[in-house]
Chains A and B, each alone.
Chain A
Amino acid sequence: MRTMLRERNWTAAAGLIAFIAMMSVGYYYNVTFVQLGLKDLGERVLGLGAQRVVLAMTVLAVVTAIIAVAFGLRMARAGWGTRLLVKLRIAFAVVAVQTVLSWLAPHLASEAAFLAWIVATAVALGVGVPVTFGMTVDLVPVRDRGWVAATITGLAYLAANLLPEAWTIDAFARQMAWAMPAGTLGLGFLAFVRPGWLAPLAEQHGDPAFGRGRFVRYDAQGRPRRDRLFVLLVVLMFAIFFIDSLGFLRVVDTPALVAGAWRSVDAAPRVALGVTHLVAAWIGGVLYGAFPARHLFFWTFGIFALVHFSYGLADRLPGDGSAALGVPLLYAVAVSLYTVVNFAVWADLSTPRTMPVNAAIGVALSGWTATFASTAIAIRLQAVGVSWAEHLRLVDALALAFFAAMLVLLVADGGRRPGVRR
């Protein structure tokens, strides 16, 4: 960004800012409307039992993952990873569909309509992931990816903590009623009016400062190779998303924790959470740009495991309300750190050609599948009467097992040749 400003390259700067805006709104849509809204829609609005909502979430996860990987492969085969205009047009279609879906959501009246809505939402998400993440290589220079990911994460979580008046599908739909049409119009303008300043942006992926991911390794013939680091990261990210959602869904159903934090009637705790997300995301962004891959993952994921292990502290601290906010604040730190990595790292493990597939596997397969699989399990455990304490023990055990597995994986993988960096 500094280079852009120094060289007065306003076009590139505008592209970068537009990317941040698009991804922030997109992530806000995911964490509020889709994840929280879907649960409210199924359970409260339609009166479905927990088992039916679990089924719906499973459908959403599986369809999203399949569509994302399939569409990512299609994009890679067709060479769309290097064609910004094509990505903008597809993104326009995705956001247009999501606009209609968000308008429809509060009006659904039957389980069949709900399932159809879920499938349509999953298709839109699945297509959207490789397309929107794929624009990273066009619009975000490699050296700026840390702070850009931090800004996206921080803004989305700040808004998620400050804006929703209630965690209901109606409230989320009202917000989307103005955000989605604005996004559709903006993307439509870029995709179909094709202003002249778009052309240089579409060529930026050819510049190594944009198109050469920081962690990409090359084989002896100079071809980028699918590094073990990528596989390792997919596994670690899956585990993180899984454990996170498994714990979070029970946390948000625990009044003692939520009433003093995310759903506090007093704005101060929610502001504190939002600001904590911002600060932690900033820390994550700075460290992302400064650390080599292994150090980065160790810090990010190690802290994540530690924080999840500390959930149990809430039960041991006196119940005067301060502990109720302490755990969510810690949680905000851990989530922000790994979300920053998730927004930046797939592009840094990719070239423009491999980016759609890598993003699809990384974000959709590991992220979405893990999130909704664990959400479904959490609902199921709650339905069969597993207590909060037992649930906590399970999350604690998984977090510790994850930490131990991470150490083993990193040590085992550390002995391999890292490949040639060109």
Chain B
Amino acid sequence: MTRAVAFVSLALALSGVAWAQGLHRGALLLSGEHRLGPTEGHVLVVGGTGVADADARIDGVVVMLEGALTLDGTVAGDVFLMGGTLALGDEARVGGRIVVAGGELSASEAATVAGGVTRDLQLAAEAVRPTPTPAQRAARFLVQTLLLVLAAFVAVLLVPRATERTAEAIARHPVVTVAMGALAGLIGLVLLVAMAFTVVLIPAALIGFVLFGVATVFGWLAFGRLVGRALHRRGVGPHGVRAQAVVGAVVFVVMLHAVAAVPWIGAPLSLLASVMALGAVVLTGFGSRRFVPDRGALEGAREDA
């Protein structure tokens, strides 16, 4: 399952990269027969048949999801084979690696692949998103904290009641928020993956992933509200609501990073926090309504008793 998710994430990320960075100077093969070259940017093959002759040069990366590609020219970057068939001719020259996560690869002995052929999905994922250095981690932490603080300030300024309702759902119904977050996360992922496989809906799937991110961050802001309020009650936080939200966001993001660094339990705990955040946002509709569990019949029973 993890590998499937990794594969799909990779496919989406690569597709996104190809679409966002190179479509205007690259090629997208959906169906039919195509001859590539003489110069291309990135190439994304999701169907049909492509041929790159010996004089063709692809400056970017090649991503294959389906279809067939016969390559006899030069590729400057990596080739990612997710599905379909890739045939390397005698004149084929690949400057990077060929990462095989699916499909069929056949290569002439005379073909050259500078980075070699790998079937390691993890490696492929890291190729798209390399493991950060300590300096990069520190920078990312600072940027993330600053953005979250800014978002907390804006949220408490523009939608104070929405963050309050979301925070209330987390604080009063933690079990339900976990259940809802887990279900929404899982099913949302499946839905987005299914959309991505239609190819036509890849942009919508990407928007969906962004929405997921926004929802989770909004939930984090609600966590920040709770943390800020708790600090104030213990006499160590500021008095004003906005200041509480900002301080709470800072403390929460620091806590999240600190917890994530703990071996074994760190990752599950930070995942749990994100699941709760997502669940609270779904239950309250981005804070547009209060979440009240259905207790009508129980209340009736209590009145009778």
Contacts and interface: CB of A to CB of B under 8 A. Distances in A.
Interface stretch (B50-58, B131-139, B293-301): B293-301
Interface stretch (B20-28, B181-189, B229-237, B263-271): B181-189
A17 B4 CA distance: 39
Nearest to A150: B179
Interface string B102-122: 110000000000000000000
A213 B8 CA distance: 44
A307 interface: yes
A323 interface: yes
B102 A290 contact: no
B71 to A, nearest CB: 20
Interface string A321-352: 01101100110010000000000000010000
A39 interface: no
B101 interface: yes
A319 B1 contact: no
Contacts of A208: 300-301, 304-305
A318 B297 contact: no
Contacts of B190: 306-307, 310, 330
Given A286-B175, A287-B176, A272 B1 contact: yes
Contacts of B261: none
B201 to A, nearest CB: 14
Contacts of A316: 83, 197
Interface string A60-100: 00000000000000000000000000000000000000000
A286 B178 CA distance: 9
Contacts of B179: 282-283, 286-287, 290
Given A209-B305, A316-B197, A422 B300 contact: yes
Interface string A177-208: 00000000000000000000000000000011
A212 B297 contact: yes
B167 to A, nearest CB: 18
B130 to A, nearest CB: 23
A307 B190 CA distance: 8
A173 to B, nearest CB: 33
Contact of A303 (B2, B101, B183): B183
B3 interface: yes
A175 to B, nearest CB: 28
B173 interface: yes
A208 B7 CA distance: 52
B193 interface: yes
A330 B189 CA distance: 11
A318 B7 contact: yes
Contacts of B297: 142, 212-216, 348, 421
A308 to B, nearest CB: 11
B176 A290 contact: yes
B82 A318 contact: yes
Nearest to B102: A318
Interface string A215-245: 1100000000000000000000000000000
B124 interface: no
A209 B305 CA distance: 9
Contacts of A320: 3, 101-102
Nearest to A321: B3
Secondary structure class of chain A's binding surface, majority of residues: helix
Contacts of B102: 317-320
Chain B contact patch, size range = 35 or more
A317 B175 contact: no
Contacts of A272: 1
B1 A286 contact: no
A212 B3 contact: no
B191 interface: yes
B251 to A, nearest CB: 29
Interface string A270-306: 0010000001001100110111110000010001001
Interface in B70-126: 82-83, 101-103
B294 A317 contact: no
B300 A313 contact: no
A27 interface: no
B157 interface: no
Interface in B279-305: 293-294, 296-298, 300-301, 304-305
A391 interface: no
A356 B293 CA distance: 28
A318 B81 CA distance: 10
B215 interface: no
A329 B7 contact: no
Given A307-B190, A319-B102, A142 B301 contact: yes
A286 B8 CA distance: 30
A117 interface: no
A309 interface: yes
Nearest to A323: B4
B176 A279 contact: no
Contacts of B176: 286-287, 290
Given A282-B179, A289-B293, A318-B101, A306 B187 contact: yes
Contacts of A142: 297-298, 301
Given A306-B191, A421-B297, A326 B4 contact: yes
A283 B184 CA distance: 11
Contacts of B187: 303, 306-307, 333
Interface in B230-249: none
B1 A290 contact: no
B1 A143 contact: no
A375 B37 CA distance: 54
Contacts of A309: 194
Contacts of A290: 173, 176, 179, 293-294
The 6 nearest A-B residue pairs measured at CB: A318-B102, A286-B179, A322-B3, A208-B301, A214-B297, A290-B293
Given A142-B297, A209-B301, 4 more contacts: A290-B293, A306-B191, A317-B8, A322-B1
27 contacts: A142-B297, A207-B305, A208-B300, A208-B304, A212-B300, A214-B296, A215-B297, A272-B1, A283-B179, A286-B175, A287-B183, A291-B293, A293-B294, A299-B183, A307-B187, A310-B190, A313-B194, A317-B102, A318-B83, A318-B102, A318-B103, A319-B102, A322-B1, A322-B7, A333-B186, A421-B296, A421-B297
